[in-house]
Chain A
Amino acid sequence: MTTKKMAIIATKGTLDMAYPPFILASTAAALGYEVQVFFTFYGLQLLRKDLSDVKISPLANPAMPMPVPMPVMVQMLPGMETMATMMMKDKLKKKGVASLEELRSLCQEADVKFIACQMTVDLFDFQKSDFIDGIEYGGAAMFLGFAGDTDICLFV
């Protein structure tokens, strides 16, 4: 049986959008897939050692379930993003959903390859020391070299 392959492009750096790439990558690896995730633009935030800046905003996010209806004018007040993030993290924990840090390290343990987009690293003047160990840096051609030969390829 040939090994199945999956490639994911992670472009978002918010709490809600951080979950799909890590959940799918870790699960695919558990199923025996060879997996690579290419982190570009805001997705790069997901490779930082410190994930405390990965937040969720109720603003312009009308589908987010809220405990009480909240007018947009209130959602834009200072501190609302931090509060929404705290509430979401609390909910995730209560429901037994893994933290991003946990899913990310499960991916790495399972040999999921993380690639940071070199162009975006340079664009935003990120320091390699801000990122976790064990990742690679590369560009579109490097990613496509793997993605072109995969069974599943997703853009998140």
Chain B
Amino acid sequence: MNFDKEFDASGLSCPLPILKTKKALADMTSGQVLKMIATDCGSVKDMQAFADQTGNPLLSSTEEGGKYIFFMKKK
């Protein structure tokens, strides 16, 4: 999937992946896509909840070799 910005939250625990996602989205423009990588398994449900509550669509959420990869579109 194409993306405009990427950051790696590997090794960080709740709530840092969410807080850093929020920060990363702040300097993006509407429609741009953020790729976020995390190792915290709690981030799967947290990212979905973040998307539901903020209205930024979670385009995909996958797991690959212990890493969780998210693509989120800025609303």
Contact = CB atoms under 8 A, between A and B. Distances in A.
Interface of A: 23, 26-27, 30-32, 95-98, 106, 110
27 contacts: A23-B14, A26-B15, A26-B19, A27-B18, A27-B19, A30-B15, A30-B18, A30-B19, A30-B21, A30-B22, A31-B53, A31-B54, A32-B53, A32-B54, A96-B11, A96-B12, A96-B13, A96-B16, A96-B39, A97-B14, A97-B16, A98-B12, A98-B15, A98-B16, A106-B19, A110-B19, A110-B22
- Greatest chain B CB density within 10 A among A30, A98, A106 is at A30
Contacts of A23: 14-15
Contacts of B18: 27, 30
A95 B39 CA distance: 11
Interface of B: 11-16, 18-19, 21-22, 39-40, 50, 53-54
A23 B42 CA distance: 14
A97 B13 CA distance: 5
A32 B16 CA distance: 16
Given A27-B19, A30-B18, 9 more contacts: A26-B19, A27-B18, A30-B19, A30-B21, A96-B12, A96-B40, A97-B16, A98-B12, A98-B13
Contacts of A97: 13-14, 16
A23, A27, A110, most chain B CB atoms within 10 A: A27
Interface centre among A31, A32, A95, A110 (most CB of B within 10 A): A31
B56 to A, nearest CB: 10
A110 B40 CA distance: 23
Contacts of B40: 96
Nearest to A95: B13
Contacts of B21: 30
Nearest to A92: B13
A36 B13 CA distance: 24
B67 to A, nearest CB: 14
